Structure 1
Amino acid sequence: MSEHSLPVWFITGCSTGFGRELAKLVIAGGWPTVVTARNKNSLADLVESAQTNTLALDLDVTDASQVAAAVKAAEDRFGRIDVLVNNAGYGYQASIEEGEEDEIRAQFDANVFGLFALTRAVLPLMRKHRKGHVINITSVAGLIGFPGSGYYAASKHAVEGFTDALAIEGAPLGIKATCVEPGPFRTDWAGRSLKQTPNLIEDYAEIVGARMRMTAANSGKQQGDPVRAGEAMIRITETENPPRHLVLGEFGYNAVTEKLKERLALIEKWREASLGADFPKA
């Protein structure tokens, strides 16, 4: 395979977690790779051994000027972007009632609006080459709302709906779209990267407070392996028909399949009310 035919990757949030482990694998595979973080100095070790094939950039996805500059730098260096991995983002826990406006908006700026902006900036390149794959790292919480994570789940649900539309719009142009939905993985998500508003309302202590304590207690002990997750992400880029959903980890698989079965059963149970909402047929 010639260097020109190798897919060019653009990965956000490479300082830790999924982004870092995926970047290591992609770089080791010899693919041209753009790695980004809010401070590119944290990526020095990633690019050290592959400087001719790797570009490290400062990128805060909530900064429109940095988004535009990063995409231009990638195009100037490699000519195109074939795989965009929207990984940058973080978790926020609070009860719905105790959620703080500033924290909620900051969460959506990073997890949703920043992802939207970067995707819009990359799509013209993919459309020009009639080729591309957008991989959005959402979460099991993008399909299920868990107590204590309502606002985080809302941000990931938003990306799921966005990706549904993108998959349909992009298909005739050779652009594919996948959401990767991890369950608990051994990353910094539940550790230093997690933001929380403490649960102080006693009425929520047994459901929200308990879940927040459980999240903290399990940090670093999760069953999910981010390296194997990265290998799975690479695998879907190498298939002609990648999945729209890629749920990762046993917990995630079990939780999502059970939720979807439950949801379908409820919809079927209320079928008569659903169909009865139309005007009567002539």
Structure 2
Amino acid sequence: MKQKTWLITGCSRGLGRAIAEAALEAGQRVIATARDASVIADLEKPGMCEVMTLDVTDQAQARDVVAASKPDVIVNNAGQGLLGAVEECGEEQIRRCMETNFHGPLNVIRAALPGLRSRRSGHIINISAAAAISNYAGFGIYGAAKGALEMLSESLRLELAPLGIHVTLVQPGPFRTAFISRSLEKAEHEIGDYAASSGKFARLIEGMDGRQPGDPARAARAIMAAASSDKPPMRLVLGRYANEKARRRGAEVEKERAEWEAVGSPCEFTSPA
């Protein structure tokens, strides 16, 4: 793979750090970022890896980092979860989740697009979640933020393809990172009526911490393989769980569409305009 400059957000731990390490191993130049750059100082390597502070929700900071790094590949990995029924989540929690998971990547992308267009090349890789394949009770806000990122990615792919710029959406299943323990905020309120739905899911998630089947290093290598392809995928689904979920979701959507086609399809005017 020809050496390129990778700008990776959210490198303090987990998948972001694994992607940075895999890119360096592949001989790529890496701009590793985190809200607190001191926690990733060990990644610094003269001529190969530069560590920078970046809070993706800060538009000015995103513009400055992009201007200084001139990236060819952008990996929007920084994210934050929000666990709780929609009604249980506080207004500020909802805004923070949307800011980090949707507006943050959008800030980085918009800052980078002029440079990518001028070079007529580049690759934007957006890290989504299995919750955007089909969602769960208790992940309504988080899944909505990731779903917005997915639709943004679809449009970007169509807009940028004629300019030689690729867009890939990564849909990871459960990977053994510190996401649950460090990056998953709990809803401000607890309402008893949701104990059997979002409450049950919350207990499942919390019990999974440290036992997730996904290996971040293997996920990072899969992302590197997609990035090095001449025809990278629109969607890269990571892990057996997420792949099975995607297959099941496709079948469910088609089954319901077919069942209701006779009702939903004949909705056009019966005579021409």
TM range (shorter): over 0.9
- Structure 1 position 62 matched with structure 2 position 57: yes
Give the 5 Å matches for 1:137-148.
Answer: 137-148=127-138
Measure the CA separation in 1 of the matches of 2:265 and 2:238.
Answer: 35
Question: In 2, Cα distance between the equivalents of 1:181 and 1:8?
Answer: 23
**1:61 Cα deviation from its structure 2 partner:** 0.5
2:232 maps to which of 228, 234, 242: 242
The one-letter code matched in structure 1 to 2:209 is: S
TM-score by length of 2: 0.96
Aligned pairs (5 A) from 1:172-187: 172-187=162-177
How far residue 199 of structure 1 moved from its aligned partner, in angstroms, is: 6.2
- Aligned-partner residue type, residue 143 of structure 1: I
Question: 1:96 aligned to 2:86?
Answer: yes
AA aligned to 1:28 is: E
Q: TM-score, normalised by structure 1?
A: 0.93
Deviation at 1:281, TM superposition (A): 4.2
Q: Which residue of 2 aligns with 1:78?
A: none
User: Is the CA contact 1:138–1:181 (under 8 Å) kept in the aligned structure 2?
Assistant: yes
| CA 270–38 in structure 1, closer or farther in 2 if over 3 Å, else same | same
SS in 2 for 1:191: helix
Deviations 1:162-196, CA, capped at 9 Å, x for gaps: 00000000100001111100111101111121101
Runs of 4+ in 1 over 4 A off after TM superposition: none
Change (3 A) 1:152 1:113: same
**Matching residue of 2:269:** 279
In 2, distance between residues paired with 1:160 and 1:94?
22
**2:11 is matched with which residue: 10, 14, 22?**
14
1:52 aligns with 2:42: no
Residues 69-108 of structure 1: matches in 2 within 5 Å?
69-75=64-70, 81-108=71-98
Question: What amino acid is the match of 1:246?
Answer: L
Shift of 1:275: 2.1
Tell me the distance in 2 between the aligned counterparts of 1:121 and 1:129.
Answer: 14
Long gaps (5+) in structure 2: none
Which runs of 5 or more structure 1 residues have no equivalent in the other structure? 76-80
Contact kept? 1:95, 1:199, Cα under 8 Å: no
Q: How does 1:29-44 map to 2 (within 5 A)?
A: 29-44=26-41
Is 1:189 aligned to residue 179 of structure 2?
yes
How many residues were matched structurally? 272
**Deviation (angstroms), 1:108:** 0.5
Q: Is this contact kept in 2: 1:199–1:208, CA < 8 A?
A: no
d(CA) in 2 for partners of 1:196, 1:13 = 20
| Matching residue of 1:161 | 151
Q: How big is the shift at 1:272?
A: 2.3
Q: Please, what is the CA RMSD of the aligned residues?
A: 1.3
Q: Distance in 1 between matches of 2:38 and 2:53?
A: 8
What SS does the corresponding residue of 2:254 show, helix, strand or coil? helix
Q: Does 1:216 align with 2:206?
A: yes
CA distance in 2, matches of 1:198, 1:224: 29
Using the TM superposition, give the Cα deviation of residue 71 of structure 1 relative to its aligned residue in structure 2, in angstroms: 0.6
CA distance in 2, matches of 1:251, 1:172: 34
Q: CA deviation at 1:208?
A: 1.2
| Equivalent-residue separation in structure 2 for 1:200 and 1:257 (angstroms) | 33
Q: How many Å apart are 1:32 and its aligned residue?
A: 0.9
Q: 1:279 to 1:176 in 2, by over 3 A?
A: same
Secondary structure in structure 2 of the residue aligned to 1:97: helix
Distance in 2 between the 1:29 and 1:246 partners?
A: 20
Preserved contact between residue 90 and residue 189 of structure 2 (Cα < 8 Å)? no
Which residue among 195, 198, 207 is the counterpart of 2:197? Answer: 207
Per-residue deviation at 1:200? Answer: 2.6
Aligned-partner residue type, residue 40 of structure 1: A
Post-superposition offset of 1:123 = 1.1
Aligned partners of 2:144 and 2:202: how far apart in 1? Answer: 17
